[in-house]
Structure 1
Amino acid sequence: MEESGYRVFASCEGSLGTENTPEQVRRYFSLRSKSGGGECAVSQVGSHLYCVTFRSEEVRNRVLARSNHTLTTKYSTLILKLHPENPNTPAGDHPERQDPVTIPASSPLEVHHTKDNEGTGLATEDEGSTNEIQLKHVPPYQLLIQPYFQKEVEQEHPDVTITLDTNACSVKLTGPSSSVQAAKGKLQDSLSRVRTKELPFPQAVIGFLISKGLQEVSRSYFLQVGVYAILAVSVNDSKVVLHGLSQFDLQRAEKILGEKVSTTAVPLGEHLEPVAYSEDFADFIVQLNSSQKAVQISWELDGKNNNRIMLVGNREEFNATESKMVEFLWEKREDVELVKVQGPPEVPENLPHLMDFLGLGNLTAQIRWLPDAGMLEIRGKPTAVEEAARSLRQKMKGVVCKTVEICRPEAHTYFSGNGQAYLNSMQSTFNCRPVLRPKPNQAIQAQDLTHNVDQLALSKVFSRQHLPKTLKGADICLGTKDKEVLLIAQNVTVHIVQADKVTELADVVVNPLCRSTTESKMLDSAGADVKEELAKTARWYSITVTGPGALPCRLLVHIPCLCGSSMKDYLLSTIQECKRRRFKLITVYIDRNELHSGFDAKQMAKDLMLTTLKHLDAEDELRIVIPQEDLFNIFRDEAKTIHSTHLKLSELEFFVSASPRGVLACLGFKHRPKDDAESLHHHSHLCEPAVIHLFSRDRHLLGKAGSALERHYATFLSNDTLVNPSIRSAGRAAMDKICQLEGKHRVNVTVGDGVVIFNGLAAKTSQAWEETLSILDEDREQRQRDKHQRFCRNARWTIYNQQNLPVNIDPKDNYNLEIQHMTLRKPTTVQGQRGETLTVNLRTMTAKSSTTGLQHKVERTEVVGSGNPGKWSEMGSEDYRKEELDRESLEYRWVERMFNRTMSKCIITKIERIQNRKLWRNFSMNVTQKVQHLFYGITPGDYETIQTNGFFRPEESYFHSDTAQGRGIYFCVDASAAQRKCEFDHRKQKMMFLGRVETGRFTVGKKSFNAPPPINPANPRELYSSVVDSVDKPSVFVVFRSDKTYPEYCITFTE
């Protein structure tokens, strides 16, 4: 550096051995070093004190941010403590910074920089003068020149003050100009006498001198015996530099060094070299060097780049030091012997675990298995190695090994934890030593499985909708509860319930006609219309289909007998009828009091369930409702018999048994695990194999030990199965959560049709079982809430409070009221605004409070949003759309029930909702009276016209018939009447509309009516809304304006 004005002082603790300290300090503070100091210059300003100068104040401050720095080299460690000012200068006496000038190479000690008081370089006799002589190195001046130079100046020129500035590496002469000039001459003369010589000593010698301290060596070796010379090292630490006041001093100093410092290399035999390279020997050298100063030990490269031990120091101490060193090496010397052993390789591989079992625990030699060489390496003292080799050959003879692999989730975790106690007990029980193999590196960690979903199980669940409907599996499982039995076989569900009546929605309800065709609980609940239809159409030797009446189903199927020999044929006909209509859920109500006396209940239960399981399609369900407990128990026992018999015959690997756990529609049970070895080897991506080696000299006991080990672990295994038909309809998010339980609990999860099987440790499978149950419950409730919320867009039930203000009810209660409104219309309880219970009578449309006993008005309204019915789908900017209804929606069921009331023999193909903004706007703006839903039969050519432009009057010729009620638009109360006007299209299908019609107040019509007559002849402007064929029981309504009608649904059906 040419210029530097920002200094830091570094005081040193320790030594760098053979290193050049200033150069190493400079490197440390360079840009390439970890300090980040930047470019710098370093000079020694005192004993163990260095001055580091930088180009900028920013770099200096960054370095000063750390007060302590550690400089480590190959040989030693130096601790640098930083100071912003020279710590050797008294406080308040720090000189101002000077611009240092580079020392010429020809002058090893100095360069002069003179400045007078006025900065002109001239001074008078009376004026004071200051001369500064810049030194390259402070120690030569301090030790060689300062002692006598300062004494002479004080004697000859007492008016001159001499100041050594170690911070600036300079000497200042202050006083009268003449005296300063004279003192300056003396100093220059003294400096010119200094001579320098480089001595190419080995690195070991240089390190020894630096470790003792160069100034200390200079004083004790040279100055104390009258030799005016000091030691230093060259920049690259490769040579020793001597500074002396004369050539004679240099020669004498070099001779003294040769006498005082000697070197020798310690020869080592091959048998000692391994110990010499050990860490123990390195630690021994450090301790020996710190305990003695006369001799130092170090490693050095010889000419062939081989390490060798060097002794440096007082030759008289070499023998003692070498003796200590060789004695240590001999004490640590080890012999090595390779032993080849006979027998299975698992024995030497696991020898560290077998030492006590084989009686080798007293061996002191180190034994290591070399798998590549197939040998044991014995290392230690010669006697210990010999004893170990002899004992190993004797003790390992006849040892055999049996390997047991248990491939299950968390198998290794169990045996490395709680199962370790059992492994230890096997030594006393079977005289064998079990050794658990370390966990494989490729084992999957639990945290990596949080999102590792079993794709095979998911594909089975979610691709089911793309498979043929007749696809049936081979699984069979059973779940039982106090009043419920769930049997799932070949993806078909048989659900047996003990209950007094049918309350759940079904596609078909089967009504046995064993004792009477007119009187039964089912017919009483269905109503008079069903009885009347059955009386007209009942068949004695085949099934009869009627409308549902008030029952919660789509259709009623009446069979002549359920307990006779023809029951199978009748049930098969019912199943075929359901397949034609695409029905999935059949409910059979079996009341002992309505069956023939003396019937065989067990045979009936068997035939009913087996016929169902054989002929129903996958995902279909038969629900059997039984009011009597004894009859229910017979059906439950027969379900268990079918389950166990078919399980054994088909040899399925599906093991289940009953459990009382579970809630309604969520029946679960645990399987009693198999205890054979095969059941343990269930491989999956979750497997954490436990490989256990069993060692013994008795083969017979070893086999027993292996079997006992497998049986022991089998007692902790379980196959828990959750039987639940709602698994079929569970959403994707729920199935993801279920499958992710594999990673969470480390159990195998298999998703079947209506079942989930958990395989693994019993404690973990129980946890997974419970969580799956909660997931399914939550998913089912969420789907119910979504369905209820969607329905609230169609119709809303309102209860008025005491102030006659409307109070909306919960979506679930809203949905249940709508179900009862569609079917039985029996009293239903709902929750009021303040948590009170209200009983709603749907016939009187009132609600009675259980708390106050007050009656409240109940009202049902259809939701209209943005001018359109709330049940309409989003249309955007469209004015017209046809929307096919979902077969499972309440809207579809409601239209279907109205159609099936008189058209149960026909099969509905589809139902479409007509969304026509223009027609709906005209209808809603003109309607002021009561509105009914009525049927309108059409020909194929009328379809497009009606859905686009609305209903129209029939042809003129129709008005001349005797049945004509007026010249208007004709609607029928029953679908069977409207069907007479329907014609087949090219697909052999018929269509009719179910429309909204303002019927209001009506009267009997006449052929001649072109408009409805006035209600009161005196007021001709107040007209009837419509005319009918009979006021008491109208079957036909006639309206005279198309804007009083709206074509809401189009029903496509076949006969």
Structure 2
Amino acid sequence: MTVGGGVKLQLVFGDITDETTDAVVNTTDFVDFQIGVCKDILTVAGADVEAELKAAKCIRGDVFVSKSGEFPCEALFHVCGQKDAVVIEQLVIRIVDQCVSLGFKSVAIPAISAGAGGLDPGVVARAVLRGVKDATSSFGLNSLTDIRLVLLKINVFLAFKEKAMQMFSTAVINKASVPQLPPVQQQQPPSVEADLSIVCNSSTSQQSVFRFLGLSRKDVDGAMTKLTDLYQAQCSSQTFRKEELKGLTQDDVKDLKQLVETEGLYVELSQGTLKVSGLNNGVNKVMQMINASLHCNLRREVRVREEQDLYACVAWCILGHRGNWERLPKTANHSLENNDVGGRIVDAQGDKLNVDLPRMEATRYLGGQTAKIKRLEHLPDFTLPLYWDNMAPGQTLKTVELLPSYAEYRTVKEVFKRSVGKTVLKIERLQNVHLRRAYEAQKKQISDKYKQQGGECEKLLYHGTTQDNCDSIVKTGFNRRFSGQNATNFGEGTYFAVNANYSAQPTYSKPAADGSQLMFVVRVLTGIYIQGQRNMRVPPPVSDQEGHDRYDSVVDRMDNPQMYVVFHDNQAYPDYLITFK
């Protein structure tokens, strides 16, 4: 859109590290340089710029200008929006003023404080656009011709677009330059007529005029007839049905319009059908273009189906920043499975990754951090949890010893050590397909029963055990028929403690000959619970009217429970086994 002083303002749905304007704005708090836009820009700019920024002494509302380092621009402007709309508006005015002072023609500005700053995108959009409007109407903008607002997230882009449409006259807005949502959003294409109307033209604009000179009317008429016949022999018409056109993208329509103008074709649009007339060569080119688009759409549909089918049976995952495995999107999943990673893949957050399949590693394009990747192959009737390792065909039980370097190991150990001062010797992850399948089915049943209340209430609890009982639990799970070995003060079910120190007592975790003890970390579906009582064989009914509808578990005390008791074996799954001493 064109704003004050003839400056062109563009809203760009993209990454600011791709910009090549004279000036690029970095948003930072001047304290933590490893978050958000700041981290991305400094990764490209290099260590010298980061050192210069760390040494900067800035006051509220300052624009700190630094060298650009490796970033492809003339200078970097560093600002802090301080999560304040007034400050942001003033900063934008100062950014424009700096550009004019330095003789810069173009500047790229991010959504200041909308990312790591946490401000509402609508508030940021209003402040930035007001700043642009004020700045371009106040200064003599001798050099500045382009202001690009670069917005990384689609919700932020849409907020800016909405505010811009409200703030600026529609007469100055070039709607053709407004980008469409990316394909991943599954946006419905505009109607065929709206798309193709720009291709249509007037028949008069395609006419040529010939003058015939001859010795007689007969000669002239003969020449005219011959030329007409020759011309008509080289012309044809082709009509394309609505079904053939529905897959055309906006870019296809632009290419089609250019082809029509180049070849001098005549185009009519009627009730969704498109009729193209002109010289054979030009009409054939249009036919080839539309057929190519149809084939492209068919290939795209086949690819989407392939990705969907593969996603149901194979999961490629990447290890996230916090040590949790995250599933990669369907397109990346398909590319990895087919070893089609010559370029990059994109993760669920939209970050680009370079993949080294032999080493099962992925490196982020921005930042250079390397993360592990892995492949899981689901069973026909069971989806492996993302944190599990892959299992061989036909394998239903697998014990995985965790390395101390694993984030998973550190997480389990840290919670255990909060209440137990003993030494952890080993932590094993237990992968039992039969037990986990039954547990997930029970989880769904409880979740459906209490859909509104969120009654599945899955908790990680502890259960001390002996070596004799350990193997049985790993293979067949918890069996309430063995209850009563230690106590049944709150019912004849299976007992799980909130704190590990309770289960670590020798009464429950009986030491072996070498002094080592065993304890399970257990996923337990506590659901809706009630106070337990001695000799309870099942939980009591939730109400007298519906005797079949019972509580899911019982506890030792209703205020701040320290012990949960379940009476259904499938309500507990042994997740980890800790060996300690």
TM-score range, shorter chain: 0.3 to 0.5
Which structure is larger by alpha-carbon Rg, 1 or 2?
1
Q: Please state which structure has a larger fraction of its residues in strand.
A: 1
TM-score by length of 2: 0.34
- Scaled by the length of structure 1, the TM-score of the pair is 0.19
Higher RCO, 1 vs 2 (CA within 8 Å, ≥6 residues apart): 2
